[in-house]
Structure 1
Amino acid sequence: MKANQTPLPQLIQAEKQAADIIFEARKRKRLLLNRAKNVAVKEVETYHGEREVILNALNESVQESIGITQRRVEQATKEKIAKIDAQVETNREAVVKMILKLMNDFVPEVHRNYLFLKDQKQK
């Protein structure tokens, strides 16, 4: 090779080789990224499925505890209502007699505020 002659064909060949190497590297990178993405999607789906199973189990246990609590509240309410009904039955006669006595045995009186208002008007 002479000093004034440039190695142009060798440079062109080197650039082609470099472009091929870069193209292959980018191709491998895309393949690896696609594989990693597919693996990640599968892992996410698996994790989602596991979480869904756990959520359903928790939901069932919560529903069971809510049902138990509702039954307890309903039972306590029924017991209280039965107790109140029993008290009503035992006190019914006494209350009726007391109301009749108040209706029949009344004493007419002037209300205490009437006298106060009458004194106020006179002043």
Structure 2
Amino acid sequence: MASQSTGIQQLLAAEKRAAEKVSEARKRKARRLKQAKEEAQAEIDSYKQEREQQYRQHEANILGSKGDSEQRIDKETQIRLSELERDYNLNKEKAFAKLLTLVCDIKPQLHINYKPPM
């Protein structure tokens, strides 16, 4: 009986060691998964930051800076305003003369639909 008791105790001890090894293996696996997730997240963040920087650089190359656009628009506006003012100054006398002619040179005539009374 003593040998059976010793065998059972050895079996229980072996089972306990096996359970501890399985538990330790699960903990190692969980640590490796956690570490892999952290490394993957760090890699994702690094890649995302790199792509955002490339996008900003590309955007700046294509569109130019905001200040450049504003300066270009202001310059174009000033050119257009000067052209309009020049055209106004060239044509204001002609327009005024034509307006005076239309207002002052009246040629009275009967309307085409007017029928004199019979």
Provide TM-score, normalisation by structure 2.
Answer: 0.67
Q: Which moved further from structure 2: 60-69 or 77-86? A: 60-69
CA distance, structure 2, for counterparts of residue 64 and residue 70 of structure 1? 10
Partner of 2:23: 23
Task: Report SS of the residue matched to 2:107.
Answer: coil
The aligned runs of 1:39-54 (5 Å cut-off) are: 39-54=39-54
Q: Sequence identity of aligned pairs in percent? A: 32
Partner of 1:36: 36
RMSD: 3.0
Deviations 1:62-87 (A, max 9, x none): 56255444444433333233223222
Aligned length: 112
For residue 39 of structure 1, report the CA deviation from its aligned partner.
1.8
Q: Which moved further from structure 2: 21-30 or 82-91? A: 82-91
For residue 59 of structure 1, report the CA deviation from its aligned partner.
4.5
CA distance, structure 2, for counterparts of residue 33 and residue 47 of structure 1? 21
The aligned runs of 1:1-123 (5 Å cut-off) are: 8-61=8-61, 64=64, 67-112=67-112, 114-115=113-114
Where do 5+ consecutive residues of structure 2 fail to align?
Answer: none
Where do 5+ consecutive residues of structure 1 fail to align?
Answer: 119-123
Task: Report SS of the residue matched to 1:45.
Answer: helix
